[in-house]
Each structure stands twice: as structure tokens, then as C-alpha cells.
Amino acid sequence: MNRIRRISTELMSTYKGKFDTDFEHNKKILNEVAVVRSKGLKNEIAGYITSYLRRELEEKEAKEEIVAQDETVDDTEEIEEQILN
């Protein structure tokens, strides 16, 4: 797993905008940017990149959701203060 992670991280940092959350797309991009002779290794690398980017996207969406909830709570508190005053 260490080898897969290292290779994937290297490829993602070198070719930042090319990979996305679609496994098939990542396999095609991997064919363009690297020479991977083993089909299994190529699939593992593409799978790792896909899962990594999906996880990042989910974390980003969760953070945005928390911020939106905090803003809603702040707005509600302001309205309550205005009503009380």
C-alpha cells in the first residue's frame, strides 16, 4: 500500500487538475501521463486517486455545511436579540 500511496501522491501533485472522482477517467489519464505495465497496479493507483479525491470532496462539503449551519444559528440569534430588544 505504501508504494501505491507514494506513486499516487506524486502523480496527483505533478498533474493536479487532470484527475477527478471518476475511476474510468482516472485510468485514462494514468495511461496518458505514466507508463504502468501492470493492469492491476494501474487499477490500484487509479482507485487510490479516486477514493482520495472523493474523500477530500466529502470533507470539503461537510466543512461548508458546518459553516452554513453556524451562519444560520448566528442569524437566528440576531433575530431573537432584535425581538427581545
Give pTM, 2 decimals: 0.76
Distances (CA, A) of 32 to 19, 26, 71, 77, 83: 11, 10, 44, 54, 62
Instruction: Report the b/e string of 33-71 with b at 16+ CB within 10 A.
Output: eeebeeeeebebbbebbbebbeeeeeeeeeeeeeeeeee
29 with 16: CB under 8 angstroms?
A: no
- pLDDT tens by residue, the chain, 85 residues: 699 999 999 999 999 889 999 999 999 999 999 999 999 999 999 999 999 999 999 999 988 888 777 767 666 767 767 777 6
Question: What is the structure's pLDDT at 57?
Answer: 92
